Amino acid sequence: MRGDGDGWAFSASGARYWGRFGAAGLLLRAPLPDGTPAVLLQHRAWWSHQGGTWGLPGGARDSHETPEQAAVREAGEEAGLDGARIAVRTALVTADVGTWTYTTVVADAGERLAVAPNQESAELRWVPEEEVAALPLHTGFAASWARLRSTVAAVPLHADDERRRYLPRTVVIESEMFLWATAGAPDAEPSPLSSQISALLPS
C-alpha cells in the first residue's frame, strides 16, 4: 500500500531507522561536458535528520516495492526526476542492521537532468564525482561512498562503432566495482578492463 513504509524500524539495540520495510536511495550519474561523471546530490533541509549534510535522494520503501522502485519513486518526489529517463544499473545493500537495510540503487542519465527540489532539500546539485568526498556528507553516505565511487575507463572505439551510443555509462564489474566507461579514440591507450567493459555493452 502506498505510504505504508513510512515509520520507524528498530534494531536489536533499540536504535531507530526510517522505513518500516527498509529504505533506498538513488545514486544517479550523468556526464559533464568533458565526459567525466557527475552525481546528483541532495543538500538536506536544516530541519531533517542530519540537516545540512549532503546525501542521495531517497527514503522509505513501501511493502510492495523493490528497492529500485522505491529509489526511483523517491527521486521523483524529492527531485522532480522523470523515471523514464533513468537507467538503473544495479543495487546493493550499503547498510544492514538485521531488522533494517538501506539499498543504494546505482543508475545513469544521458544528461544532467533538470531538478525541482521539494521541502526536504535545501538544494539539489550535480556534483563532479571527484568533488563529492570534499562535501560534508550524511554519515551513512560517507560510510559507503568508497564502495560506490567509480573509476573512469576509456574503451577505444572507431567512430562508426555502434557501441559508442551506449557510452558514457556506469559499468559494474564483479558485482561491486564501478567504472565510468567512456568511448576513446581507436588508437588510444585502452583501460586494462576495456575487454571486460566491451563484453558487457550491447552489440
Please give the grid coordinates belonging to residue 61: 520503501
* Domain definitions of the chain by residue range: 8-148, 152-200
Topology of domain 8-148 in CATH is: Nucleoside Triphosphate Pyrophosphohydrolase (3.90.79)
pTM (predicted TM-score): 0.92
The pLDDT of residue 143 is 96
Let me know if 146 is exposed, middle or buried by CB neighbors in 10 A (0-12, 13-18, 19+).
exposed
Cα dihedral sign, 109-112-113-119: positive
Using the CB atoms, write b or e for 42-51: b if 16+ within 10 Å.
Answer: bbbbeebeee
pLDDT per position as a tens digit, 73-85: 999 999 999 999 9
Please give the grid coordinates belonging to residue 65: 516495492
Whether cis (ω within 30° of 0) applies to the bond prior to 128 is no
Pairing verdict, β 54-55 and 169-173? unpaired
pLDDT per position as a tens digit, 35-91: 999 999 999 877 777 778 999 999 999 999 999 999 999 999 999 999 999 999 999
User: Which whole number is the average pLDDT over 6-28?
Assistant: 95
Q: How far apart are CA 9 and CA 136, in angstroms?
A: 26
Inter-residue contact 26 to 75 (CB < 8 Å): yes
Range with lowest mean pLDDT among 27-36, 96-105, 133-142, 154-163: 154-163
Q: In percent, how much of the chain has pLDDT > 90?
A: 74
Q: How far apart are CA 95 and CA 178, in angstroms?
A: 18
The pLDDT of residue 1 is 63
Inter-residue contact 77 to 67 (CB < 8 Å): no
